[in-house]
Amino acid sequence: MTGLTRRSFGAMILASSAAACAPRADIPSRDDYLEGYGPLPDSGYSLPGIPTEYLQGVNRRMTGFYNGEQGPNTLDIDPFAKFLYHIRADGTTTRYPVGVGRQGRSITGSATIRLKRKWPGWTPTQNMLRTEPEVYGPFAAGLPGGLRSPLGSRALYLYRGSRDTFYRIHGTNDLESIGNSGSAGCIRMFNQDIIHLYDQIEVPMQVHIRDRAESLRVDPENYERGIELPPKIIDPEELLGPEAEALDRPPVLDEA
């Protein structure tokens, strides 16, 4: 397995992006993880466990009966309460905590997941390159799937009809961002959670994104939970330099 060292753990980040991931963080050495959030071998990598301080209260995966307004076999995203619900045919749901960036609050209503990818690569959009060339210019050629990709271990791609919305549900190592809002990014999940969700769904799959009124109506207790985090910027050398390239390696994928 390829472990995430201090630098390679920090390499899965890119702030101020539509696919923002994480600030650097030390990998804890412990074995007191909550169920489902321990170290996880995946595609030739060894993902670190999630420290319990990031999983307090409602900020962790939970299963129960769904009390929202959407039908079965749907993902229901509440960007204001910072939750994603996978609604199953029997009326039960798994609720995942999420982090929400600027793009994650810019779309409401219905969409469809038409693609899902393990360890996906990332390329900034033309709009990102045009509006913030100083941030995205160094990454214009993109980053391959792996430890350096800001989309983390999995990504779900949302479409409206045949049009890509550029709205993504993806993994992150920005542990602090889960349950909070940021200046950038779409919908981010703990890597353990996006892997769990990825394995539960088939594409195409319907997605609903709540607007403010629906969030307040359905879940007033958690409406606008969390805080607004400041932007996190990383030196491109951390992702593009020779040391970052040497520490990264392609994932070992057994399926698409």
- Three-class HEC string of 207-235: EEECCHHHHHHHCCCCCCCCCECCCCCCC
CA distance 189 to 178: 7
CA distance 75 to 103: 18
Is 93 strand, coil or helix? strand
* Residue from 21, 86, 170, 196 carrying the catalytic annotation: 170
* Residue from 21, 86, 186, 208 carrying the catalytic annotation: 186
CA distance 236 to 139: 8
CA distance 253 to 94: 26
* 186 flagged as catalytic: yes
CA distance 209 to 77: 5
Output the CA–CA distances (angstroms, integers) from residue 29 to 26, 38, 48, 59, in the order listed.
9, 11, 9, 21
Which positions are annotated as active-site residues? 170, 186
